[in-house]
Structure formats: C-alpha cells, structure tokens
Amino acid sequence: MTLTDGSHTAEEDIKRTSDFLRGDLSTELANDEASVSGSSEHLLKFHGVYSQDNRDVRRERSLAGESLEYIFMVRVAIPGGKLSTDQWLALDQIAGDVADGTIRLTTRQAVQFHGVLKQGLRPMAFELDAHLMTSFGACGDVVRNTVMCPSLIANASDHRMLDMADQIAKTFKPTTNAHWEIFVNGDKSASREFAEEHEFYGSTYLPRKFKIAIAHPHENCVDVLAQDLGLIPAVHETLGEGFNVVVAGGLGRSYAQPDTFARLADPLTFVTYDELNDVIRAVLATYRDLGDRTNRRRARMKYVAADMGFSAFREAIEERYGRPLREALPVTFDDADDHLGWSQANDGSWQLGIRVGAGRVSDVTDGHGLRCALREIAQRFDVVFLITAQQDLVITQIAEGDRVTIDALLGAHGVRALDELGSVERSALACPALPTCSQALGEAERKLPDLVSLVQTELDSNGLTKRRLQLRMTGCPNGCARPAVAEVGVVGRTKNSYDLYLGGGPRGDRLASLYQEKVKLDDIPGVLRPLLERWKNEGLADESFGDFFVRAVDQ
C-alpha cells in the first residue's frame, strides 16, 4: 500500500491499528457508558453506526452541566434498495423495538434508524443478519451502498442485470470478520461467507467513502454523474451488452475549505459484463494509492482526478488495469423519472411508487399512517419493495387483482395518491439535518414541508401549478440530498439562512450555480418570484426551470 507522502490523518492510524476494524469495539459496547471513545466512533462507522447526540437538547443539557443525550444512527445497506416483505417487516420491527419508531429511506436507497441506544446495537445487528441484511460497510472508507434505478430491477431482462447491485455489494464489501464477531456472534451468523480482507482495501482501506450507482440508459433518477463510479447500460456494436463507466463525481463541499467543490463524473470507458469487476478494482486501487490521506475533506476521488487532470488519472487507472481502456460510448439522458404512481412492468405485474416525504416512514398516530400501511401490505401481499434514490418506495410485483385493495388500504391510512401531490412536493428532497446530524448548520427535513408549501404557493400564483420544480434542501454543503445538481438547491449556511443554488439539470447532468447567499427561509419565495415570472413568460414550450435559468438568466 502506498500512502501519500507527508503526514497522514489520525483516522489512518486508527484503521491501521484496528486489527481489521475491531479496535476496542467489543469492550466499549459492553461497558455502561452511553457513548464510545473517539477512535471507536471512527471504527463504528465501518459497521454502519454513527455516534450522535440529540441536538435539540444539547444546549440546555450543557448549561445544566448534564451529559448529552447520546444516541446512535444505524445505516443498513440495501443494494439497489431491494427488500423482500420479510425484510421490510424485520426493519419495521427494529424501528419500533430499538429505534425512534421511524424508518428513514435514504438518497442512496438504504435505510437509517435514528435514536438507537448503545445496548440496542447488537440486538439490531443480530436481527438484521437473521434477515440477510447488514449495516456493515454502509458507512466508512469503503464501497458504499450501490444504487440502482428501480426500472432496471423491475424490468430486468436477465439475472445479470437483476442481481447487479447485489453482486457489486458482495464483490466489494470488506471481508474482515470483525462485524460478525463483535455484533452478530461469530459463526452463528446466517449471511457470512468470507474471512480474509481484500487486497484493494488492505489494512487502511480507502482514503474515504466510494460510491457506485447504476443508471437506466434513458433516465437518470440515481444522479449517476454525482458518483465516484457510475455505470450506464449500453450496447457496443461489436462487443454487445455492457456498460459505459463514468468516474470521479461527487457533490460534497465545505465552507471551511475553499478548495473543495462539487464535480460531475467524466466518461472513462465502455466495459462488457466480464470486464466490469476488473475495471472497478483498478479504479479502487487507483483511488486507494493516490487519494489524499493527509486531509479527509479532500480525500475523495474527484480531487485526485481534478488535481492530476483527467487524462493522467485515466492513465493511472489503465496502469492498474494492466491494459488500455477503450473509449466510452456517448451518454445522454432524456429525463429523471420519479417512479411514482401506478405502472406496469414488462412481465405484466404492476408497481406502485409511493411518495414518502424526505424518506421518513412513520405513522401520524398510533395505528394510523404510512408505516402501518406498509406493514399491512408486507404482511398480506407477495410483493417486493424498492427504495428509490428520491427517498421514495416502489411496491413491485403486484398482481392485477390486488391493485384496488392496495389503493384502498393506503387511502385508509391517509397515504395520498399521486394526483393529490403538489408538483413541488412530488420531487422535493431533504437530508435529516437537525436534530441528529452532527454536521448540520441548519434545518432541512423538518422544514421541508414549510419550504415546499412556500414555493408551491409561488408557482400557483404564477399560474405554474402543474409545472415540475425540483427542490432539494440540506442542512450543510455536504450535499446529502444532492442540491448541487438540483434546479433549486437550498443549502444550510447558518442556523437561520441558506445559500440558494439554481439551474441544476433536471436530468442530473449539470451543476447548479450559486445564486444568492444567506437567504432566510421565508425570503426564498421572494427571490424566486421574478425568476418564476420570467420562466412563465419567456420559457420555451416544456422547458424546465433549470434549463430556462441556464439559457436565459445565468449567462
């Protein structure tokens, strides 16, 4: 393993001396403390666990000289967002037994639990394992949950495509036994298959996280260009079916560090199914060797590509791949589907996409709400659940005869149908932010309904009620709800103000630009008003707001 010259971060030492992600975790999980030490905090991330505190009570507790309310967030990796009903019911049970009663669907098709206490971590891991799920590798300096367009799964023409996300997850998940020893009870685990660690991870793993997504060839619901590595199915005229590979995207930025920026991925090559794993391995090895281990804020692969220049970066990948990479085929997207409402799959079965709202599956009152409705559907019907990269849920494999019953069941629980959703609400995203996220500068998920309603009112008063407007809100510039590629990105700057980014591509193929800094939430409609008026009066037929903004305003 080659490390960058110069001093490396403390996290590198923690990884190196952890005995493949074990460290003191066993002892720390068993003691009576509500939280864990700093080095264990870092290692816990590899096991999908974030140490947090309830920020709503942080100040009053500190002032009263009391200890903080320590809680944990657990992220469960769900490759391609695909869950059996049995798995959904296990997640539902966990939400009630050891978390805050909610299931949080993420922008990477995974599931998060909030408010878990330390003593709940092992029972949760055990329960997940029993249902062939794990939080291991959902966070940490490894390949993260692989995202995949729901249509590729629901309409897969063969098993290679259907199992793609699972195969990538299996091939690139770390293989140390640490998680199973510490959390799941060693050999009794049901989902364990490997023992040694991969050579591309070694003892210090990757410099930071690494994200992979598989997009539909015609629509970009997964924001494939925001990924470290993206795959887009394509057919080569002589080599047949395969994938265009794009690399070195990423959206996170930091106010404290001006040399951090969002970057869209560039085309790398076209690969066949047989070549795919070797190319991904070569990219990982390049990132492992050349990624910045001296500064975690700049440790993402996009900075390696940007600093070296893309052609030198490509050569470094070729060197590790051991042969020349062929050119990629042209990539264009027509749209980004939200997969909501009813549609029929190629096999004749039906699917229903349900808007979840910032991914938070919860009930309104005891026994009434989305969580109850989904539980009942999972108990009564032989269906498959697919989480989308828009934090929504698609129920697939529905029999024709069950459609009316499912509609009625959802309606009885107050779950609104597609035609009852406002156009802004339909595609709005928000990250969790306060009170759980330690990095949040301002609110996001909790304020999204207010913001959606303000912006929808503005659209309505301009006669634009039905026009789609992609709104994404985050509590800080890390960009977890991908505001950097949104038509309207609202990014937490201070406790009460947001930076407004406009003009991202509705197809995820263009970065938004900074339009105004430090805008109060209530002032956002006023800033948008003249632009929406111009969009209405000067926009071309069917021209999206993002496209209009770039063509007519931001020249």
Beta carbon of residue 432, minimum distance to ligand SF4 (angstroms, whole number): 5
Is 429 a residue that touches ligand SF4 (CB under 6 A)?
Answer: no
Binding-site partner at residue 456 among ligand SRM, ligand SF4, none, CB < 5 to 8 Å by type: none
Q: Is 475 in the site for ligand SF4 (CB under 6 A)?
A: yes
Query: Which amino acid belongs to residue 252?
Result: G
CA distance 134 to 191: 9
Write the CB contacts of 56 (distance below 8 Å, at least 6 apart in sequence).
434, 435
Query: CB of 195: closest distance to ligand SF4 in angstroms?
Result: 34
Cα separation, 235 vs 233, whole angstroms? 7
Instruction: Tell which residue, 224, 204, 205, has the closest CA to residue 213.
Output: 224
413 binds, among ligand SF4, ligand SRM, none (CB under 5 to 8 A by kind): none
CB of 145 to ligand SF4, least distance (A): 15
DSSP 324: P
Q: Peptide bond preceding 174: is omega within 30 degrees of 0, i.e. cis?
A: no
* Min CB(446)–ligand SF4 separation in Å: 11
Among 36, 133, 154, 226, binds ligand SRM (CB under 6 A): 226
- Identity of the residue, 222 or 409, whose beta carbon is nearer to ligand SRM in the bound complex: 222
Candidates 231, 478, 487, 489; binder of ligand SF4 (CB under 6 A) is 478
Could you give the CA distance from residue 415 to residue 411 in angstroms, rounded to a whole number?
5
Kindly state whether residue 474 participates in binding ligand SF4, applying the rule CB under 6 A: yes
- CA angle, 56 as apex, 51 and 59 as ends, to 5°? 95
290 closest CA partner among 275, 262, 309, 273: 309
Say whether residue 479 binds ligand SRM (CB under 6 A). Answer: yes
Report whether 426 contacts 433 (CB < 8 A). Answer: no
Q: Which of 8, 47, 118, 300 binds ligand SRM (CB under 6 A)?
A: 300
Binders of ligand SF4 among residues 264 to 283 (CB under 6 A) are none
426 touching ligand SRM, by CB under 6 A? no
- Residue 186: phi and psi, rounded to 5, are 50, -130
The residue among 433 and 524 lying less far from ligand SF4, judged by its C-beta, is: 433
| DSSP H or E run through 61 | helix 58-63
Stretch that binds ligand SRM, among 90-98, 106-114, 191-199, 448-456 (CB under 6 A): 106-114
State yes or no: residue 437 binds ligand SF4 (CB under 6 A).
yes
Contact 276, 243 (CB under 8 A): yes
In terms of C-beta density within 10 A (0-12 exposed, 13-18 middle, 19 or more buried), how is residue 517 classed? exposed
Binding site for ligand SRM (CB under 6 A): 50, 73, 75, 106-108, 110, 112, 144-145, 211, 223, 226, 250-252, 297, 300, 359, 391, 431-432, 436-439, 478-482
Binding site for ligand SF4 (CB under 6 A): 431-433, 437, 439-440, 444, 474-476, 478-480
